[in-house]
Structure 1
Amino acid sequence: MVTPVRVVIAVCLVAPFVAMLWVGSYAKVDPAFIGIPFFYWYQMLWVVISTALTMVAYQLWQRDQRARKAEQVRGGAGR
């Protein structure tokens, strides 16, 4: 079942792949950051961003699963 929460989870998990596979967007030297070419610091920034997005996706998934279990319990109790 596709829900808005699951769409957000999918976006959180797919975004890092799209960012890293679209090499043409970051295959350059400038702007350098503390002497590090853009190509390298952009990729390292995505390590941190990917971690944060994965954590968000996990938290949303856990919340979604708890809500589904609570809904099943409520649905089963009314029978």
Structure 2
Amino acid sequence: MSARRLWTLVGVLLTPAVVLPLWVGLYDRQDPELGGFPFFYWFQFALILVAVALTFPAYLLARQADRLDRVRHGLTPEADDPDGR
């Protein structure tokens, strides 16, 4: 898969994690309650889990895309560590 496609996939994966919390009308209500918590609160916790579930694969794909971009530009696949580690 090309780096461009990987970066596009990273953007697609991260979009819900950014857009859903900004879409206040989606969760600006009290019902239904879950375990005594209004919808607003438990939906926010669910969004955290969704964001984590989407961010980790996006991170892995971004690392791969970065490696492909570095090789394409004639650099080493891994970035040099300035501390020499």
TM-score, length basis structure 1: 0.75
Deviates more, 1:7-16 or 1:23-32: 7-16
2:62 is equivalent to residue 45 of structure 1 = no
User: What displacement does 1:69 show?
Assistant: 4.3
Q: Is the 8 A contact 2:4 2:65 kept in 1?
A: no
Equivalence for 1:77: none
Q: CA RMSD in A?
A: 1.9
- After TM superposition, the runs of 4+ consecutive aligned structure 1 residues lying more than 6 A away are none
Identify unmatched segments of 5+ residues in structure 1. 74-79
Identify unmatched segments of 5+ residues in structure 2. 75-85
State how far apart, in whole Å, the 2-side matches of 1:7 and 1:30 are. Answer: 36
State how far apart, in whole Å, the 2-side matches of 1:70 and 1:21 are. Answer: 37
State how far apart, in whole Å, the 2-side matches of 1:68 and 1:19 are. Answer: 30
Considering fraction of residues, name the structure with more helix: 1
Amino-acid identity (%): 33
TM-score, length basis structure 2: 0.70
